[in-house]
Structure formats: C-alpha cells, structure tokens
A and B are shown apart, each in its own frame.
Chain A
Amino acid sequence: MADRKAETEGVAFSLLNVQNFAQFRRRERPGKLNGRDAMKLKHVLLGTALTLAVALPALPASAEDGIYIPLLTYRTGPFAVSGIPIGSGMADYLTMLNERDGGIGGAKLIVEECETGYDTKKGVECYEQVKSKNPIVINPYSTGITLQIIPKAAVDKIPILSMAYGLSASADGQNFPWIFNPPATYWDGASMFIKYIGQKEGGLDKLKGKKVGLVYLDAPFGKEPIPLLEALAKDYGFELKLYPVTASEAQNQSSLWLNVRRDRPDWIYMQGFGAMNPTAVKEAIKINYPMDHFVGVWWAGGDDDARPAGPGAKGYLALSFNLTGTNFPVIQDVIKYVVDKGKSQIPKDKVGETFYNRGLLNSIIIAEAIRNAQKITGKKVINGEDLRRGMETLTITAARLKELGAEGFAAPMAVSCQDHNGHNAAFMAQWDGTKWVKASDWIEPLKDKVNPLIDAASKEYVGANAGWPKRTEPCDKSS
C-alpha cells in the first residue's frame, strides 16, 4: 500500500479533512476535562494549596537542644560517585559519636543532609534553608558553592569548613575570619606535585624545559591551581599546558587526550573530580601514557576513580592526606556502632576507602573544633561564633590523633588566627590495581612560594569586592 501513495491519499483525503476539523475543534473546546471534572480537580488543587499554605510557614523548626550540623552532600548527579562515600564518612563519624559517647561534651549532635547534586544553585538554596536552624558550621563540599557562600558567611556569622578545597586565598585568616580550609590548599597540593616530580627528575632545577600538563575540570574547582602552576613554571622554567574538560563533556574526553598525545607532556597533574576522573584515566591508558607520570589531586584519588579503568590503571598516582583501610581503632568503632547497626548509608565493603576516610577526617576536624569551642566558652551547646573561635585555635597533635584512635591516619594539623590552613603535608598514594597504597613520605608544600601568592590573592579578592568587611573578631590565645 505504501507504494501506491497517491491513490491512498485520494481515498483518505476526506478522512484527513475530518482530522483537520478535529484539530480546529480542539482549540475551541475547553480541554478534555468537562465541567464537573474541572470542579473536582479545582477542589483537589485548592485543597493542596491550602495544605501547603498551612505547612510552609510551619517551616524549619529551630534545632532542639543539641548542636546542629548540616551536611551539604551530593548523592545524585555526575559527582555522586565521589560524593556518596564522602558524605557517608562525614555522617557516620558524627553518628558514631552520638551512639558511643552521647554526643560531644554532653551535647547531642543533630546531623542533617541537604542534597546539592554538586550544583551551585542548589547548594546556595540549601545554605539558605539551613541558615535559620542555627548551624554551627557549613561544609559545602564543592568549591563552586563555597565561593558563593564566602561573602555570606561573615554577614550570617556561620563558619565554613572547606577542608582542602574552596578558595585557596581564604587561608588568610585576617581577611577571611570565617573561612577555614585545613590541612592544605590546592596551591599547596600543586606545589607538592612539583616538588615530587622535581625529586623524580633529580632536582627542581632539572625541570627546566620539561612539559607539564594540567588536565582540569572547567569550573572554579579545576581552575584553582592554575595561578600557582604558572608562577612555578616561571620560576623553574617548565612549560605548562592546559587541558580543560567541560563538565558536560566529562565523559567524552577523547579529543582532549588526542591533544595530550600530540603534545606529549612529561608529567600530567589532574585537578579533576567526579565522573571526569575514571574517563580521564581510561583515556590516558588508551594513549599509552605512563601511569606513574600521571598524578591526580587528592580529589582525583578515589577508588572509583581508578578501578573502572581496569588493570591498566596500575601505577596511577594521587595526592592524599589520609590513609586508607579499616585498620584504625576509630574506624573499627564506626563499624561497630554505625555500620553494623545499619545506620550507615553505604555498604560495609566501602568503609575504609580513600574518600570515606576523608569524609571521616572532615568530621574529626569538626568534632575537635567543637570540643575546643566548648573548652574556650565553657558552654555545652555552642553556636556558630563559638565554633569559629574553636576552629581558629585548633591544634590536632599526633598524640591527640592516637587518643582518637587514628594514629598515623593523617598528619597533625594546626590552625592559627592568621593562617586558617596550616599548609600541612600530604603524601603520594599509588593505585596498585585493587587499592591505594602510600607510595612516598609526607611531602611538605613549598611554603615560601605559596604563602606570598596567598597573601597577594587575598588582597586582590578584597580589592575586587568593594565593601569587604574588615576583621573585627579578636584572636584567641592558642589552646
């Protein structure tokens, strides 16, 4: 029949006309709903609207007696593969403290998650929503969200803990009294990378003439190390090549790695996160790039970043500032009190992975800061301002880590009034095919290069934002 189109058209013409008129009638008829159904629907909608109108103002009830800690996590979206273990690690440690010790210093911890999907918009919305419940600290877990919230923190008097992410310049405590980013900034990390490859090449002066490639996510997070790497390139004479990955093309990186293949950099540093990482590792394997010359920042060193690439990913390096594994008393406690009791949101075999442990470390920092704040102020239930003081005088020594059951888990860290970061050391971890293992000693950052840059960047930030509030909070004595 399809071959005799013309004839059938003639036959069907009258039917088609009917169809046309039917379309005409469509426009005039008031939709498929007749009057009665419309009324019923209207009643339903009206009822729903009334319910909402009643419920919405009955909105966020402020926290009962306890310390409210909101966690801005992402369990959906392209970064969920990393966000899920981090978020679970953060939540599980705090839950363990509640279960095992009844809170901190007698005050219970109220933990609530807000889903951001690593989306800056949703992150800001989450911030606005939790603001009214008196949170003591905000962990945005996204550099993009952190950048948006930084100006609001000082006005709303809520400290932000952006552990090893966020704005590198916010390490300057003088200009950013409410922002904290221990144990190391991205600039520290990039300098550690340069130091490491300098070691491998036989001295930092041997880097002259070499090519270093930076594969980065084309977002505020990814662009962070660029100023430092450019400065170091000038100092040590290596050539820096930039390879940006657009977030929407994170899984389609073949052209980018063809460029890498054309340029053949001697070393590659990856400032990547989320779904971009495993794809990058796979592409690097495809172009036969030597894995032991491929170094990722600490957020590119997750188990799910290397494992999907298969056996070829062996040798891939990444910076890290916490150890993996469950061989620490504190993690055993977490397993006993939280995971085995079914209060955790991830399966047991994921406990001990790099990102899970990192989320745990984040919560350890928060808990220690709370303890410190309780000591300074003498209050049990502290608020945001108290926590700021507690965080600013925070020192976690190696002995304290041992008390916590985390001996050797991370490097000891100290935050001070002027230095909200500490510029602590990290180490190189290497993927051995099944897990991450420590592959170098603790590497100190090039503080003499990083600190002047941070001061300059901090001044520039304040200058660009007219009306940036001057610091009025006094410096407590270090505890």
Chain B
Amino acid sequence: MLYREAGQYKTNYAADVSVFPMREDRIGVIVVLFVAFVVLPLTANDFMLQAVLIPFLVFALAAIALNILTGYTGLISLGTGAFMGVGAYACYKLTTLFPQVNIIVWVIASGFFSAAVGVLFGLPSLRIKGFYLAVATLAAQFFLSWCFIRVPWLYNNNTSGAIEVPTRTLFGVPVTGATATSLTRYFVVLTIVVVMTWLASNLVHGRIGRMWMAVRDMDLAAELIGIRLLPTKLLAFAISSFYCGVAGALMVFLWYGGAEAAVFDVNQSFFVLFMVIVGGLGSLTGSFFGAALIFILPIALRVLAPALGLPLHPATVEQLQYVIVGALIIFFLIAEPNGLARLWQIGKQKLRVWPFPY
C-alpha cells in the first residue's frame, strides 16, 4: 500500500537502470539524508555525536571498504586494520610536513598511500585465493603493525610512539584537535562518508562492479570471457585500501584525536570483518547495518543494563559483548547468510505487497 510500483512508468533507459527505480526508495534516501544532515545535529547531544554517530560513520566506511574487497570481489582480507593505519599515519606525516594545506585534502590524499600499499600486498592474489589469501593479508597486517611501532619516522620520532593530532581548521573553524566541537567534526565526517558511499555505489553498480562480481562468482569463467584477472583484483585491492585509508585517517583525525600502533592491530581487522559478515557480504546498505549493529551494541548494552536495573559490572558488559557478537555471527550465518541487508530486502519485498502476503 505504501510501497507500490504501480503508476511509476520508466520513460527512458536511464530511469530503467537506475539504482533506486522506485519513487519511494528515492524519497527514503532523501529522508535519511535529511535526518542525518538536519535533524540529528539539531537534536543529538554531544555524547551521541562523539561516541555513537561519528564512529558509526567511520566504521561504516571501513565496512564498505572491506565489502568491496571481500563481498564484491571475493578476496578475503584480514588486513583492514593495517590499511586503515597506513592511511592514518600517512595523513599525519603529510599534515606535519605541510601544515598549511587543508586537512581534508590530506585525508583524501592519504587514501592514495593506503591504496599503493594495498596493491603491493594484493599482488599475490593472482596466484592464491581463499584462505591462503587471508594468510597473505595477515602477513600484511602483522608487518605493517610492526612498522607502525619500529619505524620512528612515521610518528616523527616521538619518544612515546603515539601520534597526537594537531589542530587544523577549515574555513576558520577548527576541525581537528581538542578544540574542534563534535558538531563540526560530525558534519565533516558525514559529508565525506556520503560522498564516498555515492562513489562506491556508482562503482559497484557499473561495469567495474560487475567485473568484480564475476571474479567472485567464478574467476576462471570471468577470465574466459575476457576480464583480465590481475588488473581487476588489484583494482579491488586499490579501491578497498583507498577507502580503508580514508576511514583510518578520519578515525584518528576526526574521532580519537590521536593514535598509537595498537589501534590498528589484528583485532581491528576482525572487528570490521564481523561488521561485514553481519551486515551482509556484497551490499553497501549492509555495511551500514553491520557497522550499526556491531558498534552500537556494546554502547547500548552499557547504557541499557543500568536502565533496566540489571547490576552489570562494566567488565561483564565487555565480556557479554564478545558472547553476543559471536552468537550473532553464528545466528546470522545459519539463519541468513547474506546478512542484515538481505533481511532488509525481504522486508521491502513484503512491504510491496502489504497487506497481502504475496
């Protein structure tokens, strides 16, 4: 009743192949953007912005990155954390070497460094795939983690080994550093994430995305029909690492305000992988759903437990988080291997014929 295609006619090919063919979908996207850009800044308090929304957006971007590599191209990667770290440290070096350049430029530029490193560690992907590639990316993860600690040039020879984010401004308003308000940072992160999601959406719905999906489904057949495997896989690594790098730079510069090498360890890689699994492999909306569920869950636990009167010790909340995440992953893989995104699709499908069952 609410979500009907009836009466919507496509009058040209462009409308036919558009990403959101139904008017209701387009209205939905506009509503979501309106809520994100207008309603939330007006109503959310500092805590919501700083501790919930900004990290959610950052992790959603990282999940999109991993989704491009694992969901769309089928290359399992356990090196997400390290690639995010490359982006963060690259941004740090760039901004300390050239402080007068706008920080947003450097955030985007650091993605290119991350992409270069990603391509380097993606080179084995022509010879190996599946679990073996996962081990190759683990090699990348551990090696880069080691570099973040043992290459003093990366953190400007700081004795503590940690990097502090200097204050940088955008149009005169500070966006990084301790004086930047969470509202400013939220807008910057939101804009970057929206733009990059739009780019990713265009990529995966286009020719390149179809090449990736062909490689995922059966790479031998893809090679036979003329898709060159190595450039395609390397492009997937490059673009995925680019997104990882930008996500890492955003994480350090616009959320934490500083970092040390331990932030980008193998647990971070697993964290993002779980978001992708739960959200749905091969789906951009799934990345957002997965990031929301896996990231907001522990915060919700911490908040709801005292609200419901359960005397849960904070350490127990931590441990429960592990249990719930693990159980959720198993549950989703059994019940719906394609994740929350598929559930969303089924929901919309049902809504199209509601109130009839079919």
Contact = CB atoms under 8 A, between A and B. Distances in A.
Contact of A35 (B48, B304, B350): B350
A466 B45 contact: no
A132 B182 CA distance: 13
A377 interface: no
Interface stretch (B112-120, B224-232, B312-320): B312-320
Contact of A248 (B44, B265, B303, B346): B265
A76 B50 CA distance: 25
B262 interface: yes
B179 A56 contact: no
Nearest to B307: A55
A52 B302 CA distance: 12
Interface stretch (A26-34, A282-290, A299-307, A387-395): A26-34
12 contacts: A42-B346, A55-B304, A113-B315, A124-B256, A132-B46, A144-B260, A148-B256, A151-B177, A223-B159, A223-B160, A466-B99, A466-B167
A227 interface: yes
B334 interface: yes
A113 B313 contact: yes
| A-B pairs, 9 with minimum CB distance | A220-B160, A75-B315, A115-B314, A151-B178, A155-B178, A38-B346, A148-B258, A467-B167, A31-B336
Contact of B317 (A52, A115, A226, A248): A115
| Majority-rule SS of B interface residues | helix
A120 B262 contact: yes
A156 B51 CA distance: 15
A432 interface: no
B241 to A, nearest CB: 21
Contacts of B343: 33, 38, 41-42, 45
A144 B346 CA distance: 45
Interface in A170-206: none
Q: Among B179, B303, B314, B343, which residue has the most Cβ atoms of chain A within 10 A?
A: B314
Contact of B45 (A114, A132, A220, A246): A132
Contacts of B179: 155, 467
A233 to B, nearest CB: 15
Nearest to B263: A121
A450 to B, nearest CB: 15
Interface string B302-342: 11100100000111011100000000000000111110001
Interface in B245-271: 256-260, 262-263, 265
Contacts of B304: 52, 55
A332 B358 CA distance: 73
A17 interface: no
B164 interface: yes
A55 B48 CA distance: 12
Interface string A143-177: 11001100110111000000000010000000000
Given A31-B337, A52-B296, A119 B160 contact: no
Contact of A59 (B45, B167, B259): B45
A39 interface: yes
Contact of B335 (A33, A131, A144): A33
B156 A219 contact: no
B94 to A, nearest CB: 15
Given A75-B315, A121-B263, A219-B161, A32 B167 contact: no
Contacts of A132: 45-47
A335 to B, nearest CB: 21
B262 A219 contact: yes
A142 to B, nearest CB: 11
Q: Among B99, B160, B303, B318, which residue has the most Cβ atoms of chain A within 10 A?
A: B160
A126 B265 CA distance: 20
A114 B350 contact: no
B257 A148 contact: yes
A219 B265 CA distance: 13
B206 interface: no
B124 interface: no
Nearest to A120: B260
B47 A129 contact: yes
A345 B313 CA distance: 10
A31 B338 contact: yes
A83 to B, nearest CB: 10
Contacts of A385: none
